[in-house]
């Protein structure tokens, strides 16, 4: 009888731990999906921005091409769920957008263009949302990684092959708060 009670307690523990780990794993996937949605929205907005800029910035093709190439690398990393490559691609895209918006200062007609202002505001809003979702994703990853390494949960994690997830990291200069709209005031 005591053996059955001990076996029942162990079985209940395994079921509760397994279900908890599954829940955490799905929270990581949900957090990634939230980032994915925002990256896709920004991906769709960038060609509109570049097209609007092309009308005014005829001599700035190199900068526009950098943004398009970086957009492509972000898309590739997003679609392959390559978190490390996404961090690198995001750095390149943000750098290209920073150059683009800085160059826009030299084009008063562009700065006054209603579509450009709308797209600049939309992309800035998406950047803020991506930063928020990145934080939520990294929190979810941290919870997952800590839980699968803690004893005795690591027994269940190893038994059912739960894996650590990768944090979404950006270069140190990307950790600074960037407000793109500030580039247009002044």
Mean pLDDT within 126-149: 93
CATH code for the part of the protein at 2-184: 1.20.1440.20
Among 23-27, 35-39, 150-154, 175-179, the range with the most confident prediction by mean pLDDT is 23-27
- Is the pLDDT assigned to residue 180 strictly greater than 90? no
Contact, 149 vs 96, CB < 8 A? no
Mean pLDDT within 78-83: 88
3-state secondary structure the chain: CHHHHHHHHHHHHHHHHHHHHHHHHHHHHHHHHHHHHHHHHHHHHHHHHHHHHHCCCCCCHHHHHHHHHHHHHHHHHHHHCCHHHHHHHHHHHHHHHHHHHHHHCCCHHHHHCHHHHHHHHHHHHHHHHHHHHHHHHHHHHHHHHHHHHCCCHHHHHHHCCCCCCCCCCCCHHHHCCCCHHHHHCC
Measure the CA–CA gap between 2 and 185, rounded to whole angstroms: 75
The answer to whether the Cα torsion of 49, 36, 177, 164 is positive or negative is negative
Q: What is the mean pLDDT of the chain?
A: 86
Confidence at residue 83, expressed as pLDDT on a 0 to 100 scale: 87
Measure the CA–CA gap between 15 and 9, rounded to whole angstroms: 10
Confidence of residue 186 (pLDDT cuts 50, 70, 90): very low
Contact, 134 vs 35, CB < 8 A? yes
pLDDT tens sequence across 89-132: 988 898 888 888 888 888 888 878 888 888 888 998 998 899 89
Q: Considering only residues 141 and 111, tell me which one the structure prediction assigns the higher pLDDT.
A: 141
Task: List CB contacts of 22: < 8 A, sequence separation 6 or more.
Answer: none
Mean pLDDT within 21-32: 96
Measure the CA–CA gap between 104 and 84, rounded to whole angstroms: 31
């Amino acid at each position: 009888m005591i053996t059955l009670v001990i076996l029942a307690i162990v079985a209940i523990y395994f079921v509760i731990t397994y279900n908890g780990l599954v829940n955490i794993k799905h929270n990581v996937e949900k957090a990634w999906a939230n980032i994915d949605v925002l990256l896709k929205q920004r991906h769709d907005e960038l060609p509109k921005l570049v097209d609007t800029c092309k009308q005014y910035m005829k001599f700035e093709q190199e900068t526009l091409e950098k943004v398009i190439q970086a957009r492509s690398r972000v898309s590739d990393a997003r679609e392959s769920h390559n978190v490390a490559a996404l961090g690198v691609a995001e750095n390149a895209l943000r750098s290209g957008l920073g150059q683009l918006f800085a160059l826009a200062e030299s084009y008063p007609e562009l700065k006054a263009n209603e579509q450009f202002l709308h797209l600049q505001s939309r992309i800035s809003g998406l950047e803020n949302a991506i930063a928020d979702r990145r934080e939520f994703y990294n929190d979810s990853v941290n919870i997952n990684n800590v839980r699968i390494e803690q004893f005795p949960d690591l027994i269940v994690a190893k038994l059912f092959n739960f894996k650590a997830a990768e944090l979404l990291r950006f270069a140190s200069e990307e950790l600074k708060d960037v407000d793109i709209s500030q580039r247009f005031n002044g």
